[in-house]
Structure 1
Amino acid sequence: MSRIVFRNARLFDGLQRGLQPASTVVVEDGSIDAVEPGDLPVDDAQVFDLAGRTLMPGLIDAHVHVTATIPDFFKLSMLPQSLVTAQSKDVLAGMLDRGFTTVRDAGGADAGLVQAVEQGIFAGPRLFIAGRALTQTGGHGDTRPAFFQNVGCACCGAVGILGHIADGVGAVRRAAREELRNGAHQIKVMAGGGISSPNDPLEGTQYSIEELTAIVQEAEAARTYVMAHAYSPAAIERAVRCGVRSIEHGNLLDEASARLMAEAGTFLVPTLATYAAIAANADRLGWSKAMKEKTDRVKHQGIEALRIARAAGVKIALGTDLLGDMHASQSDEFTLRLPAMPADEIVWSATAVNAELLGQSGRLGCIAPGAHADLLVIDGDPLTDISLLQQPERVPVVMKQGSFHRCTLAPAR
């Protein structure tokens, strides 16, 4: 019996903002076959009567690091890649357990891990990968400690698991082409300083205009796009003017940079969960005073950045950017945003907006004929109480591409 039917569902379809009452959804061969209001008779199917529970698309996280199995990037880069891959199995399974059926990896995962998930070797969300993030020497993705000698780059072996160091227009073109050759779905570039790197200021800009433009050109030639790590208005504006599709983090943006993003159609991918988790664990992690000060600054600015972006009409996506055992805090992103966004808008970000960002509208983030059958059943209304998405017992069904990852409901027949 290849068909599965959900009856009496309050439907959030990712095509419109509200819930629709009493709908029927038919799943066949991994896709949505039919969506009808009311009760649609279907023969030869496994039927689940949802009795008014909410049926919604699987969640999408647009900024993860599934291979960041420990929070120290340099120590991580020195581990055998086979060990890191084995450790990532639990990270991937945890994401799917939390209802994230698709994620965009922002640096670290490779094409082999994509295949491991696609072939069912690892249970996990669908992966869109950036390969290794492009970084200038001394940039946010350069994990080498000071005075690390006799290694001209961090691109070889395990040392380069997250960052691909390249300087100059010719070198960044080649680096982008290399990541695309190795299966990257999009290119990640470090366009400014970060909190987990102790020596680069948050206000700093990284890569020249010529280098950023070259990277975007290479991505566009391959019919894909660039995601840019940036915090400060200067870094954001430079990246947007060079044609990047999404700004990652963006906690220090101001009204002028937000307006520029809105005019260009650039997405913002806030990642509030990681700052809350890092702030709570900074002493245990052994972070330096400078790193903790940067964390506190962006943590306190995150909600204001969301308010500014929302007022300017920026497309706001959803990411988390968690590391090591802090991946367990992934669903905290939902409630952390509530001071700046209503619950229904946050759910929209995690479904329809993220699907648009990935270039997957109509296939992901929605319940419509022809879309992937990535579905969640929620015991309640997440558009008014988003904390339901943080309670596994209130999410009895997690389905990815027509297969149940979790199902605690008994079929009607």
Structure 2
Amino acid sequence: MRLVIRNARRLDVEKMEFVEDGPLVAEDGRIAGIGENAPIGAADLEIDAKGSFMLPGFIDAHVHFRLATLDFARLQRWSEVEYGIVMARLAKETLQRGFTTVRDIGGDVEGLMRAIKAGMAEGPRIFRAGRMLSQTGGHGDAESGPRPVPTCACEMRHTAFGIVADGPDAVRKAARHNLRDGSDFLKIHVSGGVASPADPLESIQYTAAEITAACEEARHRQTYVAAHAYSAESITMAVENGVHTIEHSNMIDAGAAAAVARHGAVMVPTLSTYEAMDLLGRKMGFPAANLAKNSKVLEAGLKSLEIARDAKVTLGFGTDLIGESQARQRREFAIRAEVETPKEILRSLYVVNAKLCKLEGQIGTLTPGAAADIVLTKVNPLENIAALGADDAIEGVIQAGRPVS
């Protein structure tokens, strides 16, 4: 398919400014040329953008399609058919919001990816961690109810969400299993979490030896480890033992931020999810203990951004919205805008996230050879990036050269 877009103001991500440099031509899903260098000719589809702003497709570096509802009791009961139906809907809605690439950071999404590739479902390009790795009683230990005492230290359990693995050898085995099954990177938990029932936020999870084992296996496959971490101690322990991305980081302090920067690691804030849980949690039956944990990280969110910026930490862009709350995905722009400039947010979205997905030059840019993933909007994000969150902000989404319905 050959697509031509005329009269758009294109975002030059390298310069971080809008340019009017002639038509964009896409062929077979990739940008073939722009302006004078564009191979103008007959088009299968021609779009007159009428002065709209043309952005690369959005990239979300922290999603969970497998966590398909905020009603966690239902998650325990659903069949794979029910999961498939809801996950396919969430994927399509994500694409319609302009997110053409996502980094799925925990849960089995193999079937969803195959369905998208085969054209059976619509959704973004997915860069995935596969099942999350967790210690017994950690944030990724998702099974409810009583469980038998393990018969040996090496015994592992798993669900569609994660693998419970204790000790360096078990963590190594779980990491190798995920990588064998096609995970693009690995995800571990090194602190407590909001949604899990049994672990305090401040709890430290995994040891240096366990973290090192996962990071070594990732490095051997030329990839990296992401770590769920809230507390300063868990963040520092993670980056000092090889973790590349720290997810959330709401309770970071100056010392931990300095450690992240010193090790060249990346912090991926996910602030919209705490606002969403605060608004929707009670309606969905969240226990009081979980709501209390959420309030703590919600309050700390913006301060964590300020601490990270002062330490010159590289920031990605993520949302971590679950199930019904994923509709608030573009709300992250407005929250981040309370602390950061539009250019800083767009660099996180396009430059840092493209590197995290190992697709530099292919996504997050509107240049020849890149994927023809495009968002057309009436909003100038360099002037008012928060306005991208409005329901009517997006005029059109194009994925691989084809308009999204």
Q: TM-score, normalised by structure 2?
A: 0.94
Q: Which residue of 1 aligns with 2:374?
A: 375
* Map of 2:310 onto structure 1: 311
Moved over 6 A (4+): 150-154
> Equivalent residue of 1:214, what SS?
helix
Shift of 1:184: 1.0
Q: Which residue of 1 aligns with 2:353?
A: 354
Residue 68 of structure 1 aligns to a residue in which SS?
coil
* Aligned counterparts, 1:202-241, within 5 A: 202-241=201-240
Counterpart for residue 141 of structure 2: 142
The answer (yes or no) to whether the contact 2:192–2:200 under 8 Å persists in 1 is yes
Question: What does residue range 76-87 of structure 1 map to in structure 2 within 5 Å?
Answer: 76-87=75-86
SS at match of 1:239: helix
Contact 1:251–1:301 (8 Å) recurs in 2: yes
Q: Contact 1:30 / 1:372 at 8 angstroms: preserved in 2?
A: yes
Whole-Å separation in 1 of the counterparts to 2:244 and 2:84? 29
Paired AA for residue 370 in structure 1: G
Correspondence 1:402 to 2:377: no
Aligned residue in 1 for 2:285: 286
Deviations 1:300-343 (A, max 9, x none): 11001011111211111111111121111111111111211122
Q: 1:147 to 1:155 in 2, by over 3 A?
A: closer
Query: What is the letter of the counterpart of residue 60 of structure 1?
Result: I
Is residue 65–residue 109 contact of structure 1 (8 Å, CA) maintained in 2?
Answer: no
Which position in structure 2 is the counterpart of 1:409? Answer: none
Structure 2: runs of 5+ lacking an equivalent: none
Q: Match for residue 130 of structure 2?
A: 131
- Give me the whole-angstrom Cα distance separating, in 1, the residues matched to 2:319 and 2:352: 15
User: In 2, distance between residues paired with 1:48 and 1:323?
Assistant: 34
Correspondent of 1:43 among 25, 38, 41 = 41
Alignment of 1:130-209 (within 5 A): 130-145=129-144, 147-149=146-148, 155-156=157-158, 160-209=159-208
CA-to-aligned-CA distance 1:90-131 (integer Å, 9 cap, x gap):
110110110000111111133222111112111111111111
Tell me which residue corresponds to 1:410.
none
Q: 1:10-29 maps to which residues of 2 (within 5 A)?
A: 10-29=9-28
Give the 3-state SS of the residue equivalent to 2:369 in structure 1: coil
1:267 maps onto 2:296 in alignment: no
Distance 1:394 1:110 in 2: 29
Q: The residue matched to 1:32 in structure 2 has which SS?
A: strand
Q: Check the 8 A contact 2:66/2:109 in 1, yes or no.
A: no
The corresponding residue for 1:299 is: 298
* Native 8 Å contact 2:192 2:205 kept in 1: yes
Deviates more, 1:373-382 or 1:213-222: 373-382
**Does the 8 Å contact 1:154/1:165 carry over to 2?**
yes
Which moved further from structure 2: 187-196 or 64-73?
64-73
Q: Is residue 333 of structure 2 the alignment partner of residue 334 of structure 1?
A: yes
Task: Name the CA distance, whole Å, in 1 between partners of 2:181 and 2:187.
Answer: 14
Indicate how the Cα distance of structure 1 residues 391 and 161 shifts in structure 2: closer, same or farther if over 3 A, else same. same
Deviation for aligned residue 1:41: 7.0
Aligned equivalent of 1:411:
none
Once the two structures are overlaid, the 10-residue window that deviates more, 123-132 or 382-391, is 382-391
Aligned to 1:104: 103
* Superposed CA offset, 1:348-379 (max 9, x none): 22222210222211011111111111111112
**Alpha carbons of structure 1 residues 394 and 295: separation in structure 2 relative to 1, 3 Å:** closer
Q: CA deviation at 1:151?
A: 7.9
Structure-2 separation of matches of 1:385 and 1:132: 37
CA shift, 1:150, in A, is 7.0
- Report the Cα offset of residue 146 of structure 1: 5.2
Residue 143 of structure 1: how far off its partner (Å): 1.4
1:269-303 Cα offsets, whole Å, 9 max, x none, are 11111100101122223222221111111001100
| Distance change in 2, residues 1:155/1:72 (3 Å) | farther
Q: Is the 8 A contact 1:186 1:219 kept in 2?
A: yes
Cα distance in 2 for residues equivalent to 1:268 and 1:3: 38
Give the deviation of 1:154 after TM superposition: 7.5
Counterpart of 2:70 in structure 1 is: 71
Counterpart-to-counterpart distance in 2, 1:103 and 1:41 = 30
Contact between 2:88 and 2:112, CA under 8 Å: does it hold in 1? no
Q: Is the 8 A contact 1:129 1:186 kept in 2?
A: yes
Distance 2:22 2:157 in 1: 52
Q: In structure 2, how many angstroms separate the alpha carbons of the residues matched to 1:318 and 1:181?
A: 28
Give a deviation string over 1:25-76, Cα, whole Å, max 9, x none. 2111101111337x96711224323232111100011111112122244541
Residue 32 (1) aligns with residue 31 (2): yes
Q: 1:142–1:154: 8 Å Cα contact kept in structure 2?
A: no
Question: Paired residue for 1:4?
Answer: 3
Q: Distance in 1 between matches of 2:236 and 2:180?
A: 29
Say which SS state the counterpart of residue 93 (structure 1) adopts: helix
Give the 3-state SS of the residue equivalent to 2:277 in structure 1.
helix
Q: Which moved more, 1:395-404 or 1:90-99?
A: 395-404
SS in structure 2 opposite 1:399?
strand
What amino acid maps onto 1:277 in structure 2? Answer: A
Q: Which moved more, 1:317-326 or 1:54-63?
A: 317-326
Q: CA deviation at 1:167?
A: 0.8
CA 1:41–1:162: 2 relative to 1, 3 Å = closer
Q: 2:39, 2:146 → 1: CA distance?
A: 70
Point out where structure 1 has 5 or more consecutive residues left out of the alignment. 407-413
Structure 1 residue identity aligned to 2:227: A
Q: How many residues align structurally?
A: 401
Partners of 1:378 and 1:395 within 8 A in 2: yes
